[in-house]
Structure 1
Amino acid sequence: MSNKILIVDDDAEIRKVTGIYLANEGYEILKAENGIEALKCIEDTEVDLILLDIMMPEMDGIEVCMKIREKQLVMPIIFLSAKSEELDKIQGLASGADDYITKPFNAMELIARVKSNLRRYTKYSAVQSVNKNIIEIGNLTINTDTREVLVGNKNVRLTPKEFDILELLARNKGVVFSIEKIYDRVWGEEYYKSDNTVMVHITKIREKIEADPKQPIYIKTIWGVGYKI
């Protein structure tokens, strides 16, 4: 089964030529001419890699990348841009991209970057399916055997209850847990509505694992329902 690559660029010629390069390598090609189309495509179809232009009208590539990373923490994103300034590269990578190609690029460079990023993604997926004791979500690594947590290469010290909450959410990625259910699963006791223990623990976890606890990318609040990763 061939990998699906989504090309997002407002330039029709770029979409066409890039699509030809990659289709000749056996990849299945999807195309979007703006960020809105790209986000809808990702909602409707499972994509393995995205080539994303930075300079687009209405919603630029940086914003699109950040929205994608709210749900897709692992899928490779490669920025395409006519800009060559170092600051733009840093901004692009900081928003969650895995790689950066400056226009104009040649076919060999494009194909090499795509293959390299897909290899890393495939290797990651294989490791995930084999080792159930290691949970990796973006830069977050949870070892349930040693009860260690890493953010990048930095070791994060969690209390036992903080770790239990994080493990519960991480093992059930995408599932929303109410405060009552978290309390029941982690503390094993009946929850009382006046008790804010879970919220306090969630706040502490975010302070330790999130780059910006006020805009978390890992533990999301689903207002009126609960929390999820």
Structure 2
Amino acid sequence: IEKLPLHHWRPGARALVVGARDGVAFDGVDERGSFTRALTPELVAEAARKARVDAIAAWWSESLRQGEELSALSEVATILHLPLIIGTSGHGEGEALARALPSAAAWVLFATAAHGPQAAAILAGGRHVEVVLGLDDDAIPVLDYARAACIHLVPRRAAAAPEDLELWRDHARAALPEGVAIHDDRSPHSDCPCGARLIWRAGGRSRLDSLDPVSGRCRACARDAAIVLG
């Protein structure tokens, strides 16, 4: 889950990720050539059972435009009683979003300057939404980020000069609303406002520290951590 990234939803869970090979190219080329076999519910169900996963993730940059594939994943998630995660840049028709909202347990929204028309509606109506910023190295798009469970700063120019990346991160943090959890490669962990480390993360792995797995509260100050545990 942490590698998606999805930090505030079922830490340590394992997901079967189905989608484009390089995830978020935003050009559709990777989406059309990702599979050499037909993506059927039977194929996905077999893979999910073999891998013993905790969730299924639709991982195209424009998942809402992958109607048949998204339906197949939703069907399997229902049959196997697994939660469905949807990654999307918000492109697609309103009807597709209306069908997906009730079935998706969590969303990862790839917010760019060219994000789709459904981005705002996903933030407003999604059960759990985490936002990824920086994929186009552009200005921070105008969205209601206060509704996000957390925000991930993932600059596409990962090899840029450290000082340039630092400036971009500082600019992004300054543009985002106060109180929203923000993660980047410098701060992958989840910390409570009291200073206690709730969840430790490194290399796609996580460990609960001061987060009580039963109550979902900080063991140090009893504050609700607002992290989905189950």
Q: TM-score, normalised by structure 1?
A: 0.32
**Bigger radius of gyration among the two:** 1
Q: TM-score, normalised by structure 2?
A: 0.32
Q: Higher relative CO (CA 8 A, sep ≥ 6), structure 1 or 2?
A: 2
More helix by share: 1
